[in-house]
């Protein structure tokens, strides 16, 4: 089994700079801006045309571009530096993990997720869960935590969003050209793409295997769109989150059982599995089955599988947990169940939701029962999850329900803008030259106070202009193509003013997120937006799930407000929110707003991305913001519950804050037009959010909380006491 870069397709790249081909196939370049600059220097136009897909760019670029670069000393100098850094990264003498866990039981974590958001050239994600998974494995790579990841090769990924003239969301599919993207076929010994059969499922389902290299972490992707499959099975990996229940079940069977089988076939000997949300939980069954087949006594097999399974639950919204009715489960698992040494009723009982017995097989309840280590994604969400799932541990008091909390974090090298990073560099380099490896250490961030206000403000203004110019360019192209109505030019941001206070709101159009909260009192909003001396603008973005009519109506309602001349072009809706637009937005707005119904937002992560770039959060105190807010780094609102009357109160709190605190602070300027008190808050935001809500901190939490115990179980019964005597806690 091997993966090979198809080097023969790059014969037009000269030897001297052939390393760019290796670089293109490792997403390391995507979080090292100096590496993407290299691609840009090679062929700027094609880099743009390919939408930052280096593989396509290299394939499409004529030889003379490479020859020119290979003869340019400045290019070669950069090339040599970057290739040196890349090779050092890939073969480090030591890593954080190796330093802190020397000589331990060799441990590899298999990280399963139904989506991975790594870069916009690979459309394998829908939203927050996928971006988090992508950030998680990037951090695993940075820290040297031995990890393999498993996910889906979606042909279509998630749909693109096109907004019609009347504000209705149209979904546009775009098929990924796999042979011109940073993905590789995994080949079998005969040199054909590896195809694996999902065990014990009838009629059989086969998956072809692909690989994306994410720094040091390989991500294996499953693909059912192959001739070996019956036509109805080919579409399983077509796109994310099929709405129809049976389709979803088949996806989850493929991801969990098929995914585990693929690792087995690849000969990857991992010791623990980390399930990012319940979609992949069937992997547990396959792990159990393997042990039973090998002759392990059932009790021991179960204990070992539980002891080496980590499960992260991501949502308190009951409807977001998959539940499969018994007849559907029977269709796929009647044949599988006997191999688990369980009766059918015992099997179904593993997935029983205590709140709703008889409803079917609940993937979250199943994953909680079958994993020993489980967590929610913020402290508050941990509490909510303990309460929600206490019935699974009826004998324990609420505080002792074993669901921990590990608060999410975002991958700083991905989300920190390189101009802001450059500013940190200049001030950190003399005091903390290695700050890039140590950025979860709060002490180093004190340096931020030494950055002159003018400098930070200037960079922020630059990023704001960049955002606005991106928005205008998108709209200009759409207008040229579709001959839009003039009011849609305003609605999609053509009239935004870089000097006005700008509030961003970008997320899925799910009801609990209350995207339309600020439209509760239109007269009040009108006064705020059109204040002559202190105008306020709002930029919205986000997709509704393609099958969610209610979400689409909500989106349309907002779009229509944006079209309304009453708001003077100061409310804008920007279409097709994705990781790329997210970057521009979290770098370029002044304030990042989030207004969910309290207790519904498990964590939220976009506010972390904004906060570390000095964009101030204005958010309901829910999810991560309860931990993040310190009274000096943004604004927190004690949100109320879901009822209509209280919704009005929440809106009023928001209006009061914007009108009486936020706008006056923003517009209070020095002689040279710098809002010093605002900039002080920006610095406080960076200092408090960057070290605490980065994926380095998150990953270290996972490692120190769970992985030592996992080691112990993975080592097997004979070595458990040895594991206990020498606890492998770092530092
Ligand atoms: C970060 C991110 C999200 C998640 O944001 P939330 O704050 O959790 O809503 C969703 N989509 C994209 C493209 C992102 O970058």
Three-state DSSP class for 556?
helix
- Report whether 678 contacts 551 (CB < 8 A): no
Question: Concatenated DSSP letters for 226-260?
Answer: STTS-HHHHGGGSBS--SSHHHHHHHHHIIIIIHH
**pLDDT recorded at residue 173:** 86
Nearest CA to ligand 1 atom 11: 127
Instruction: Give the integer Cα–Cα distance in Å for 112 and 501.
Output: 41
**pLDDT recorded at residue 720:** 42
Which of 117, 124, 127 to mutate to test ligand 1, by most ligand atoms within 8 A of the CB atom? 127
Distance in angstroms between the alpha carbons of the first and the last residue of the chain:
39
Nearest CA to ligand 1 atom 3: 128
Nearest CA to ligand 1 atom 15: 579
- From ligand 1's centre to the CA of 398, what distance in Å? 31
For residue 607, give the ligand 1 atom closest to its CA: 7
For residue 577, give the ligand 1 atom closest to its CA: 13
Radius of gyration over alpha carbons of the chain, in Å?
26
For residue 579, give the ligand 1 atom closest to its CA: 13
Helical spans, DSSP H, in 399-452: 412-415, 418-428
Q: Residue 426: CA atoms inside 13 Å, Cβ hemisphere, count? A: 11
Three-state DSSP class for 616?
strand
State whether the Cα torsion 290-296-298-299 is positive or negative.
Answer: negative
Pocket of ligand 1 (CB under 6 A): 127-128, 131, 507, 577-579, 582, 604-607, 609
- From ligand 1's centre to the CA of 201, what distance in Å? 35
For residue 578, give the ligand 1 atom closest to its CA: 13
Q: Which helix (DSSP H) or strand (DSSP E) does residue 405 occupy?
A: strand 404-405
Partnered with residue 694 across adjacent β-strands are: 410
- From ligand 1's centre to the CA of 604, what distance in Å? 7
- Report whether 499 contacts 505 (CB < 8 A): no
Partnered with residue 540 across adjacent β-strands are: 505, 573
Q: Where are the domain boundaries for CATH 3.40.50.2000 in the chain?
A: 104-405, 439-693
Residues 6+ apart with CB under 8 A from 425: none
**pLDDT recorded at residue 512:** 86
Structure tokens at 207: 């998956």
**pLDDT recorded at residue 642:** 59
Partnered with residue 201 across adjacent β-strands are: none
Instruction: Give the integer Cα–Cα distance in Å for 496 and 477.
Output: 17
Give Cα separations from 270 to 651, 661, 696 (angstroms): 50, 53, 22
State whether the Cα torsion 161-166-168-173 is positive or negative.
Answer: negative
Instruction: Give the integer Cα–Cα distance in Å for 72 and 80.
Output: 12
- Report whether 310 contacts 274 (CB < 8 A): yes
For residue 508, give the ligand 1 atom closest to its CA: 9
Partnered with residue 239 across adjacent β-strands are: 157
- Report whether 133 contacts 116 (CB < 8 A): yes
Which of 116, 582, 597, 600 to mutate to test ligand 1, by most ligand atoms within 8 A of the CB atom? 582
Domain 104-405 part of CATH 3.40.50.720: no
- Residue in this structure with the two tokens 């700050």, named with its chain if needed: 435
- From ligand 1's centre to the CA of 605, what distance in Å? 6
Question: Concatenated DSSP letters for 261-303?
Answer: HHHHHTT---SEEEEESGGGTTHHHHHHHHHHHTT--HHHHHH
Partnered with residue 157 across adjacent β-strands are: 239
Q: Residue 413: CA atoms inside 13 Å, Cβ hemisphere, count? A: 27
Which of 125, 130, 131, 580 to mutate to test ligand 1, by most ligand atoms within 8 A of the CB atom? 131
- Report whether 107 contacts 251 (CB < 8 A): no
- From ligand 1's centre to the CA of 540, what distance in Å? 13
For residue 609, give the ligand 1 atom closest to its CA: 1
Instruction: Give the integer Cα–Cα distance in Å for 284 and 302.
Output: 9
- From ligand 1's centre to the CA of 88, what distance in Å? 31
Nearest CA to ligand 1 atom 4: 128
For residue 126, give the ligand 1 atom closest to its CA: 11
DSSP class of 446: G
Which of 118, 119, 128, 542 to mutate to test ligand 1, by most ligand atoms within 8 A of the CB atom? 128
Please report how the helices 73-90 and 63-70 are oriented relative to each other, as an axis angle in degrees rounded to 10.
Answer: 90
DSSP class of 639: -
Pairing mode of beta strands 323-324, 309-312: unpaired
- From ligand 1's centre to the CA of 299, what distance in Å? 41
- From ligand 1's centre to the CA of 386, what distance in Å? 25
Q: What is the mean pLDDT of each run of 10 residues along the chain (731 residues)?
A: 90 97 98 96 96 97 97 98 97 87 78 96 92 98 96 88 93 90 95 95 94 98 96 90 87 97 93 95 96 94 94 88 95 93 95 92 96 96 95 93 96 97 92 92 95 97 98 92 83 95 94 91 97 97 92 96 95 95 98 93 96 98 97 92 74 96 97 96 98 98 87 63 31 28
**pLDDT recorded at residue 725:** 30
- From ligand 1's centre to the CA of 511, what distance in Å? 16
**pLDDT recorded at residue 202:** 87
φ/ψ of 439, rounded to 5, equals -80, 0
Partnered with residue 119 across adjacent β-strands are: none
Three-state DSSP class for 77?
helix
**pLDDT recorded at residue 644:** 57
- Report whether 29 contacts 215 (CB < 8 A): no
- From ligand 1's centre to the CA of 127, what distance in Å? 6
For residue 132, give the ligand 1 atom closest to its CA: 1
Q: Which helix (DSSP H) or strand (DSSP E) does residue 551 occupy?
A: helix 549-563
CB atoms near residue 461 (< 10 Å): 16
Which of 377, 507, 583, 604 to mutate to test ligand 1, by most ligand atoms within 8 A of the CB atom? 507
Structure tokens at 433: 């030259």
Instruction: Give the integer Cα–Cα distance in Å for 130 and 222.
Output: 16
Instruction: Give the integer Cα–Cα distance in Å for 256 and 252.
Output: 6
Pairing mode of beta strands 309-312, 272-276: parallel
- From ligand 1's centre to the CA of 120, what distance in Å? 13
For residue 506, give the ligand 1 atom closest to its CA: 9
Instruction: Give the integer Cα–Cα distance in Å for 108 and 540.
Output: 41
Nearest to 701 by CA among 661, 730, 663: 730
- From ligand 1's centre to the CA of 583, what distance in Å? 10
pTM here is: 0.96
Instruction: Give the integer Cα–Cα distance in Å for 617 and 684.
Output: 11
Q: Which pairs with CB-CB distance under 8 Å and at least 24 residues apart come from 553-557?
A: 554/509, 554/511, 554/515, 554/516, 555/163, 555/167, 555/169, 555/509, 555/515, 556/166, 556/167, 556/168, 556/169, 557/167, 557/516, 557/519
Question: Concatenated DSSP letters for 663-716?
Answer: HHHHT---TTS--HHHHHHHHHHHHHHTTTSBHHHHHHHHHHHHHHHHHHHHT-
Three-state DSSP class for 182?
coil
- From ligand 1's centre to the CA of 585, what distance in Å? 11
**pLDDT recorded at residue 443:** 94
Helical spans, DSSP H, in 122-179: 128-143
Please state whether the peptide bond connecting residue 203 to the residue before it is cis, i.e. omega within 30 degrees of 0. yes
For residue 410, give the ligand 1 atom closest to its CA: 1
- From ligand 1's centre to the CA of 242, what distance in Å? 20
| Domain 439-693 homologous superfamily, CATH | Glycogen Phosphorylase B; (3.40.50.2000)
Nearest CA to ligand 1 atom 5: 606
Nearest to 536 by CA among 595, 585, 496, 594: 496
Nearest CA to ligand 1 atom 9: 507
Partnered with residue 541 across adjacent β-strands are: 506, 574
φ/ψ of 13, rounded to 5, equals -95, 125
Question: Concatenated DSSP letters for 127-191?
Answer: SHHHHHHHHHHHHHHHHT--EEEEEE--SSBSPEEEE-TTS-EEEE-----GGGSS-EEEE-TTS
Partnered with residue 493 across adjacent β-strands are: none
Nearest CA to ligand 1 atom 2: 128
- From ligand 1's centre to the CA of 606, what distance in Å? 5
Nearest CA to ligand 1 atom 1: 606
Instruction: Give the integer Cα–Cα distance in Å for 240 and 53.
Output: 21
Structure tokens at 64: 């003379």
Pairing mode of beta strands 184-187, 206-214: antiparallel
- Report whether 516 contacts 590 (CB < 8 A): no
Structure tokens at 352: 């029983």
- From ligand 1's centre to the CA of 507, what distance in Å? 6
Instruction: Give the integer Cα–Cα distance in Å for 257 and 236.
Output: 14
């Amino acid at each position: 089994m091997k993966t090979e870069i198809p080097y023969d397709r790059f014969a037009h790249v000269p030897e001297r700079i052939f390393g760019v081909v290796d670089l293109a196939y490792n997403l390391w370049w995507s979080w090292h801006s100096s590496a993407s600059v290299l691609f840009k220097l090679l062929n700027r136009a094609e880099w743009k045309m390919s939408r930052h897909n280096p593989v396509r760019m290299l394939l499409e670029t004529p030889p003379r571009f490479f020859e020119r670069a290979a003869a340019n000393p400045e290019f070669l100098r950069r090339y040599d530096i970057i290739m040196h850094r890349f090779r050092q990264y890939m073969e480090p003498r030591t890593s954080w993990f190796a330093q802190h866990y020397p000589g331990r039981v060799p441990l590899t974590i298999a990280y399963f997720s139904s989506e991975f958001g790594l870069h916009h050239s690979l459309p394998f994600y829908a939203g927050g869960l996928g971006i988090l998974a992508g950030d998680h494995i990037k951090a695993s790579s940075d820290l040297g935590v031995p990890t393999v990841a498993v996910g889906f090769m979606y042909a279509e990924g998630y749909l693109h969003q096109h907004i019609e003239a009347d504000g209705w969301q149209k979904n546009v599919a775009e098929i990924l050209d796999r042979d011109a993207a940073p993905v590789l076929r995994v080949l079998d010994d005969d040199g054909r793409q590896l195809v694996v059969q999902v065990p014990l499922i009838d009629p059989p389902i086969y998956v072809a295997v692909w690989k994306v290299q994410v720094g040091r972490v390989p991500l294996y992707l499953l693909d059912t769109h192959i001739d070996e499959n019956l036509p109805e099975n080919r579409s399983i990996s077509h796109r994310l989150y099929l709405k129809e229940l049976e389709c979803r079940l088949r996806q989850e069977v493929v991801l969990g059982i098929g995914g585990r089988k693929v690792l087995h076939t690849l000969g990857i000997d991992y010791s623990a599995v980390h399930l990012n949300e319940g979609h992949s939980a069937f992997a547990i069954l396959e792990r159990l089955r393997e042990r039973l087949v090998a002759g392990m006594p059932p009790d021991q097999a179960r204990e070992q599988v539980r002891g080496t399974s980590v499960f992260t639950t991501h949502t308190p919204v009951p409807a977001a947990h998959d539940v499969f009715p018994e007849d559907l489960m029977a269709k796929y698992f009647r044949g599988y169940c006997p191999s688990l040494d369980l009766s059918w009723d015992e099997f179904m009982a593993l997935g029983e939701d205590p709140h709703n017995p008889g409803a079917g097989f609940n993937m979250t309840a199943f994953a909680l029962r079958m994993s020993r280590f489980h967590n929610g994604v913020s402290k508050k969400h941990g509490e909510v999850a303990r309460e929600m799932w206490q019935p699974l541990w009826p004998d324990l008091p609420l505080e002792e329900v074993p669901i921990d909390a590990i608060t999410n974090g975002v991958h700083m090298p991905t989300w920190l803008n390189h101009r802001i990073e450059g500013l940190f560099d200049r001030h950190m380099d003399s005091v903390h030259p290695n700050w890039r490896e140590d950025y979860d250490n709060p002490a180093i961030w004190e340096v931020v106070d030494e950055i002159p206000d003018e400098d930070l403000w200037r960079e922020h203004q630059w990023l704001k202009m960049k955002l606005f110019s991106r928005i205008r360019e998108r709209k200009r192209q759409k207008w040229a193509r579709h001959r839009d109505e003039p009011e849609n030019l305003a609605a999609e941001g053509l009239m935004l003013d870089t000097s006005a206070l700008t509030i961003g709101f970008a997320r899925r159009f799910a009801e609990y997120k209350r995207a339309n909260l600020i439209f509760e009192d239109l007269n009040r909003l009108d006064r705020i937006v059109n204040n002559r001396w202190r105008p306020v603008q709002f930029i919205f973005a986000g997709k509704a799930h393609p099958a969610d009519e209610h979400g689409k109506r909500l989106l349309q309602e907002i779009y229509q407000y944006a079209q309304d001349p009453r708001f003077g072009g100061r409310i804008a809706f920007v279409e097709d929110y994705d990781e790329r637009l997210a970057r521009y937005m979290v770098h370029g707005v002044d304030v990042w707003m989030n207004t969910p119904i309290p207790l519904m937002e498990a964590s939220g992560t976009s506010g972390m991305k904004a906060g570390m770039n000095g964009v101030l959060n204005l958010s309901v105190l829910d999810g991560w913001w309860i931990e993040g807010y310190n009274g000096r780094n943004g604004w927190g609102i004690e949100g109320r519950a879901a009822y209509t009357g209280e919704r009005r109160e929440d809106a009023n709190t928001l209006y009061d804050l914007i009108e009486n605190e936020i706008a006056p602070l923003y517009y209070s300027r020095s002689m040279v037009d710098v809002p010093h008190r605002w900039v002080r808050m920006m610095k406080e935001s960076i200092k408090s959010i960057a070290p605490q809500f980065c994926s380095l901190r998150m990953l270290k939490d996972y490692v120190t909380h769970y992985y030592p115990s996992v080691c112990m179980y993975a080592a097997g019964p004979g070595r458990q006491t040895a594991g206990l005597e020498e606890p492998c806690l770092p530092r």
